[in-house]
Amino acid sequence: MNIVFMLLSTILVWLMVPGIAVFYSGFVPKRDITRILFNTFLMFGIAGLMWIVVGFPLTFGTSKLGIIGNLQHIFLTGIDLKANYGNTGLPTDVYLLFQMMFAVLTPALFLGAVASRARIKFIAIFVICWSILVYYPMAHFVWSSNGFLAQMGVLDFAGGTVIHINAGITAMILAITLRKPYKYNNENVPGNPMWILMGTVLLWIGWYGFNAGSALQVNTQAIDAFFTTTIAACSAMMTWTILEKLFKTRVSVNGLCTGAICGLVGITPGTGYVSVIGAFIIGIVSALGSFYFINNLKYKLHLNDYLDIFGSHGVSGIIGSLCVGLFANKTIDNNVVNNGLFYGGGFKLLGVQFVGVIFTIAFVSIIGVVIVFGVRKLFKNDVGIDAPLNLA
């Protein structure tokens, strides 16, 4: 039963990759749709193969410093894929495939920040370098039992730091380095509500595999994660709707869907650790934070992130990760050593989560900037600043 559940969860996370492509395509100009679809689906080839070649051993291989795994099992040589992986109770190949979908999805999340502003060579080399230098170390820090953030006590049930803050910060770096500063002219880009809605549907369905599947077995925690995921998305959606009515006078399908996504992002790091009331509040706070950034702060900073990847994934990921320190409850999951602040645990877990968030922002920012400028120098004629490029 657990293997069937995890294979189903893997398929659901797989579904999120075309889901994010459809979702983003609803927001971009027609000239960029094909490139969004192409770049996103290409990640199955690039990031998927990278995971098999070096990703899994670098992420989950043993290490002495808690920073990165090892290269003893390149191409999975020497790994018994049928043996149970650690204490998961799952065959290694099942766990490997589930984690591979996360490694594929994360670059798909941030590539919308450049749309058709970079050629395929730049995209491919950037994703390869980013996977090795950013994603695999981050996943090792947090999800490997040897990772130093895991040893410190940072909790990230399904990817608040590893995926959403990581992708959000990377998208912001790409937007700053490859796009001109944004100049707000009070324009209204309607987008395609049907594409946006269908993308949101695919993502929301896939998120159940993303969050509930991170329990790694059919148990009460998986059910709790399924439930809290739903509650947070609903509360965030309604919060966004109210905010649009109050501050924009018109409620939109785009806003409904964006609010739901922010709730799903916000609950991800704590979905298996928090109660229903915690999920309800996390959804509200995530929507409030992302709404303010997307509709106000982004323009003050002149950030040309026109798909609001940082505004939704980055901001809600930061809020959700910090909220673990407020709402985590060991009665929900005994892996929670210290209760959150609102459950009598004091500031200890909140402080640990804060350190994890700050470290993630700093690490991804520094390494990301180095990769961007390094690859730009290598392909200086293949990436332009706000100049649409051909697919080839």
Considering the domain delimited by 1-379, tell me its CATH architecture: Orthogonal Bundle (1.10)
pLDDT one-digit tens code per residue, 242-288 = 999 999 888 999 999 999 999 999 999 999 999 999 999 999 999 99
CA separation for the pair 328, 341 (Å, rounded): 8
pLDDT one-digit tens code per residue, 308-351 = 999 999 999 999 999 999 999 999 888 889 999 999 999 999 99
CA separation for the pair 330, 333 (Å, rounded): 5
Write down the pLDDT at residue 68: 94
pTM greater than the 0.85 cutoff: yes
Residue 392 confidence class, pLDDT cut points 50, 70, 90:
very low
Average pLDDT in the chain? 92
Least confident residue range of 91-105, 162-176, 371-385: 371-385
pLDDT for 382 beyond 80: no
211 closest CA partner among 258, 151, 271: 271
pLDDT for 83 beyond 80: yes
Rg (the chain; Cα; Å): 20
Write down the pLDDT at residue 262: 98
| Residue partners of 27: CB distance under 8 A and separation at least 6 | 189, 191, 192, 196, 254, 306, 307
pLDDT for 4 beyond 60: yes
3-state helix, strand, coil in the chain (%, to 5): 70, 0, 30
The more confident residue out of 34 and 163 is 163
Residue located via tokens 């965030």: 236
Least confident residue range of 84-88, 277-281, 377-381: 377-381
pLDDT one-digit tens code per residue, 133-156 = 999 999 999 999 899 999 999 999
pLDDT for 82 beyond 80: yes
CA separation for the pair 224, 234 (Å, rounded): 15
176 closest CA partner among 373, 32, 359: 373
260 closest CA partner among 190, 324, 197, 167: 197
- Highest-pLDDT range among 13-22, 31-40, 376-385: 13-22
